[in-house]
Structure 1
Amino acid sequence: MADMTVDQGERLRRPAGVRSIRLGDTTVSYVPDGDVRLRPLDGLPDSTGEVWAAHPEYLDAGGHLVGSVGSLLVEHGDRALLIDAGFGPRSHAAPAGPLATIRGGALPDGLARLGRAPEDIEAVAFTHLHADHLGWAALPAPGGDQPLFAHADYLVSAPEWEQRDLADEQVAALAPRVRTITDGQEVFPGVRVRILPGHTPGHAEYVITGGGRRLIAFGDTAHSPIQIDHPDWSSGFDHDLTRTAEHRRRLVAELAEPGTIGFGVHFADVVFGHVRRGGSGPAWQPLDA
């Protein structure tokens, strides 16, 4: 922890708020929806009690790993794209397993803080079809019978959609608006999808370029910044632990390249960052505009 500042330690124990960075003519903003708490030894099964005892900065007072739940807003001129749609206006607690608690509901307020209304969003691009990424696109918004983004296109990687759970009511609710996308496709100005199975059969990442930099929105390839130091640690939610770890190792190397920024949607209050390797502190270094 030699390089860990008090501020960064505090940030690892709280979910993220609204944060924005500029990539040339494009603005990317984290839009919070809520937070998630994980049981660390179940959430990251290859970790140990000794590791967490040595790094209490990642855990809340109850011993849970703190994470964020939300979306990435991408703005280019008057146009707006949303990557993932949070958990929606609800909460859930699990008595056992990786997940302890999760709650959503704040996303509309976050959009409003950024000067955007739901009808401004032309498309929602999903990294994958888990409930904490579908929320506001699949569930009725409070006071109505339609999802918040019912007018937008829903972009899902073709292999993810082909292997969807047909019994999942939230996934079924997306169907009328789904448009499948393929690896390498540009889905918005300066935004390309890359499909890298592992966390799910068709998990997608989004690479956003502008101003001589690129941002990789890597979805659930990593759930916590501690995985940047331990890329072999796959999560208890991963579909293919080995494949996800292989990709995570490549991703960590990529995030250490000049001009490359990462976006971890579930990373506490350090969602934007870059990788610094070989130092005495954590590899994930938060980046704020």
Structure 2
Amino acid sequence: MPDLTATQDDRLSRPAGIRSIRLGDTKVSYVPDGDVRLRPLQLLPDTTGEVWAAHPEYLDATGHLVGSVGGLLVEHGDRALLIDTGFGPQTYETPDGPIGVIHGGALPQGLAELGRRPEDIEAVAFTHLHSDHIGWACAPAPGSGRPLFAHAEHLIPEPEWDARDLLEAQGTSEQVAALAPRVRTITDGQEVFPGVHVRITPGHTVGHAEYVITGGGRRLIAFGDAVHSPIQIDHPDWSSAFDHDPARTADHRRRLAAELAEPGTLGFGVHFADVVFGHVRQDGDGPAWRPLDA
């Protein structure tokens, strides 16, 4: 697997387009919805200006950390599961705080380019209930008054659903309440789709979950918001300002980085600019996160 070169460095400062990999008979694809531009010092409060001056490859021309926003399509035969649904057809901009601007809206088009209609998705599984992960689960389909995935089961980790009242302060409680008729709660270790198991990993939120997808002798860990940027793989102690329990998230991130370095193990970082699929090499030679060229 090639190291990050100058060309690959360019991928760290642009959002990802559609990317796919195969795990045996299972195809896994990142489906872009939009992107987010983040203020790096506010997002990762333990960093300094010197850190980012030494790593300009992560920043756009305005000094913002670039992140992807979207979902993960898992296809096995004729069946399809979607993990997270992006931000939806909206834009949010703030003058301060970690988020500069975030926008979505492209996910239906991405599904179409991958040959899938929304009604092909039998279930939508969520890593957690933040607005940039549940957007299209709440938004109406273009030209329709019904939610895009109204026909699909909505699989939510049981502790996340039980603690949904915590979202009221973030202004997403109405969105979350709208999901209720379609929700089925899931528990740690449960298989939610062929070869896909949920792993509940509290820290970023009370019931945050990862999904472990196996096939072809390999596994892919879709780790949600346990890690926001590849730079945190090198520095797992740097927790995000969005983390509910920063210490717990940092502890989990250390274990996750070691796990991602194991043979046959890949990772998926939904917010990882144009390096969403990768693996970890902890050899001290360059960044630990090595993107796949799939």
How would you bin the TM-score normalised by the shorter chain? over 0.9
Q: Which residue of 1 aligns with 2:192?
A: 187
Give the whole-Å Cα distance in 1 for the aligned partners of 2:241 and 2:118. 33
Q: Does 1:108 align with 2:108?
A: yes
Q: Any conservation in 2 of the 1:263–1:273 contact (CA below 8 Å)?
A: yes
Q: Which residue of 2 aligns with 1:248?
A: 253
Runs of 4+ aligned residues of structure 1 deviating over 3 Å after TM superposition are none
Give the whole-Å Cα distance in 1 for the aligned partners of 2:93 and 2:136. 19
Q: Any conservation in 2 of the 1:12–1:269 contact (CA below 8 Å)?
A: yes
Kindly report the root-mean-square deviation, in angstroms, between the aligned alpha carbons of the 2 structures: 0.9
Q: Any conservation in 1 of the 2:30–2:73 contact (CA below 8 Å)?
A: yes
Q: Which residue of 2 aligns with 1:236?
A: 241
Cα offset, 1:9, TM superposition? 1.2
Give the whole-Å Cα distance in 2 for the aligned partners of 1:141 and 1:288. 32
Q: Which residue of 1 aligns with 2:133?
A: 133
Name the amino acid aligned to 2:230: P
Q: Any conservation in 1 of the 2:42–2:97 contact (CA below 8 Å)?
A: yes
Q: Any conservation in 2 of the 1:155–1:179 contact (CA below 8 Å)?
A: yes
Q: Which residue of 1 aligns with 2:74?
A: 74
1:131-280 to structure 2, matched below 5 A, reads: 131-165=131-165, 167=168, 168-280=173-285
TM value normalised by structure 1: 0.98
1:45-64 to structure 2, matched below 5 A, reads: 45-64=45-64
Cα offset, 1:146, TM superposition? 1.4
Q: Any conservation in 2 of the 1:191–1:208 contact (CA below 8 Å)?
A: yes
Q: Which residue of 1 aligns with 2:117?
A: 117
The percent identity for this pair of structures is 80
Give the whole-Å Cα distance in 1 for the aligned partners of 2:100 and 2:150. 30
Cα offset, 1:221, TM superposition? 0.2
Give the whole-Å Cα distance in 1 for the aligned partners of 2:121 and 2:42. 36
143-152 or 74-83, larger mean C-alpha shift: 143-152
Give the whole-Å Cα distance in 2 for the aligned partners of 1:139 and 1:147. 5
5-14 or 26-35, larger mean C-alpha shift: 5-14
Q: Which runs of 5+ in 2 are unaligned?
A: none
Deviations 1:20-64 (A, max 9, x none): 000000000000000001100000001111010000000001100
Give the whole-Å Cα distance in 1 for the aligned partners of 2:116 and 2:157. 26
